[in-house]
């Protein structure tokens, strides 16, 4: 078998049903790939949903369960049961385009990467807010293309929503570090790079990423990303770049400018107003929707402030990244 598609799950039955349906619709020989879900839903509450979705789609699913199974443990557990020569890790809120594995196969045929990743995006049928959040997370203006949105990155680190590697590479570096509560995917990518393996982007291997459906949920998610960045900097010296600190500078600068304006009547510098207004133009043009452009302003504010909050929280007090046990 060539590919093992692995996803950690925790409740969210509708999300899991859609993920299985998209895997079942892949235009690829079913004898050459498998789907493994490692689940932490309490009392095995997701099993019936997975079994029904597997039966309805005709796609066998390997389902592994332990109550409250953490994400890194889940991925490692599924990897131990996987049969594929390549392990591909995906988030359960991702949907796979029909040609996804074909694009991966063509990318590997062209470059023979030891480890690889692909971008995420939002298709036409996603909600306006999902499209706005997708813009904020993938646009060069907001993230600099570090998630695979552009080839112009100094060093590309695949991320766990769309990340693959040879089984031999995964075993050689020891898999996911269970002491990372988030950021474990980037930690694994860094260790693969440091071990001398060839890592690359397959830009055509896109997944449709639904992400969080409300702005408060999105804030919680990006807060964890900010905390992860500080943990990664501690684990891997030299990994903290000025670009990683940009959301912190932007958020603090905006906050203190508003504070000064309220106290002393100092007008908010045009640089802050301009930065947050640009997404309305870019996202509005990309999706041909002023409404999505407006939502992209809100999602960008939430993304930058959430990341900054998580980073500063971890920097000042350990935050979300105290080691387990």
Residue 174 has, within 13 A of its CA and on its CB side, a CA count of 8
pLDDT tens-place values along the chain, 325 residues long: 999 999 999 999 999 999 999 999 999 999 999 999 999 999 999 999 999 999 999 999 999 999 999 999 999 999 999 999 999 999 999 999 999 999 999 999 999 999 999 999 998 889 999 999 999 998 988 887 665 454 544 578 999 999 999 999 999 999 999 987 778 999 999 999 999 999 999 999 999 998 767 899 999 999 999 999 998 998 898 888 888 889 999 999 888 888 877 787 767 677 788 888 999 999 999 999 999 999 999 999 999 999 999 999 999 985 444 444 3
Cα 32–chain centre separation: 25
Could you tell me if 134 and 122 are in contact, meaning their C-beta atoms sit under 8 angstroms apart? yes
Note the pTM of the prediction, 2 decimals. 0.89
Residue-wise pLDDT for 229-272, tens only, equals: 998 998 898 888 888 889 999 999 888 888 877 787 767 677 78
Q: Which residues pair with 65 in a beta bridge?
A: 39
Q: What's the CA gap between 197 and 268, in Å, rounded?
A: 47
Taking the alpha carbons at both ends of the chain, their separation in whole angstroms is 37
The architecture that CATH gives domain 3-127+139-211 is Alpha-Beta Complex (3.90)
- What is the layout of strands, in order, in the sheet containing 120-121? 94-95, 207-209, 120-121
Q: What's the CA gap between 135 and 205, in Å, rounded?
A: 18
CATH 3.90.550.10 in the chain: give the residue spans: 3-127+139-211
Q: What's the CA gap between 292 and 133, in Å, rounded?
A: 9
Longest Cα–Cα distance of the chain, Å, equals 69
Cα 125–chain centre separation: 20
Residue-wise pLDDT for 208-233, tens only, equals: 998 767 899 999 999 999 999 998 99
Q: Dump the DSSP string for 87-137.
A: EEEE-TTEE--TTHHHHHHHHHHHH--SEEE--EE--TTS-HHHHHHHHHH
Q: Dump the DSSP string for 25-43.
A: T-SS-GGGEEEEEEE--GG
Q: What's the CA gap between 282 and 277, in Å, rounded?
A: 9
Q: Is 12 exposed, middle or buried (0-12, 13-18, 19+ CB in 10 A)?
A: middle
């Amino acid at each position: 078998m060539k590919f093992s598609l692995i996803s950690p799950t925790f409740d969210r039955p509708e999300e899991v049903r859609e993920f299985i349906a998209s895997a079942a619709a892949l235009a690829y020989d079913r004898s050459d790939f498998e789907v493994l879900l490692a689940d932490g839903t309490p009392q095995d509450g997701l099993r019936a949903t997975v079994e029904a979705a597997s039966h309805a789609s005709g796609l066998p699913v390997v389902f592994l369960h332990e109550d409250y199974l953490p994400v890194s443990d889940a991925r490692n557990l599924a990897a131990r049961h996987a049969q594929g020569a390549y392990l591909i890790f995906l988030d359960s809120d991702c949907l796979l385009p029909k040609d996804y594995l074909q694009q991966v196969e063509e990318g590997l045929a062209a470059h023979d990467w030891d480890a690889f990743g692909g971008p995420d995006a939002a298709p036409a049928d996603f909600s306006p807010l999902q499209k706005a959040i997708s813009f904020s997370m993938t646009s060069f203006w907001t993230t600099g293309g570090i998630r695979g949105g552009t080839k112009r990155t100094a060093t590309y680190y695949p991320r766990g929503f769309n990340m693959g590697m040879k089984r031999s590479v995964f075993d050689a570096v020891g898999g996911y570090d269970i002491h990372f509560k988030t950021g474990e995917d980037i930690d694994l990518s860094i260790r693969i790079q440091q071990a001398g393996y060839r890592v690359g982007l397959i830009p055509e291997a896109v997944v449709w990423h639904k992400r969080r459906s409300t702005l408060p949920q999105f804030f919680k998610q990006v807060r964890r990303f900010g905390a992860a960045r500080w943990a990664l900097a501690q684990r891997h010296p030299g990994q903290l770049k000025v670009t990683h600190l940009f959301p912190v500078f932007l958020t603090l600068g905006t906050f203190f400018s508003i504070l000064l304006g309220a106290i002393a009547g100092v007008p908010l510098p045009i640089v802050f107003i301009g930065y947050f207004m640009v997404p309305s133009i870019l996202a509005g043009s990309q999706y041909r929707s002023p409404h999505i452009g407006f939502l992209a302003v809100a999602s960008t504010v939430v993304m930058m402030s959430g990341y900054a909050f998580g980073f500063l929280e971890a920097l000042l007090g350990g935050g979300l990244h105290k080691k387990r046990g």
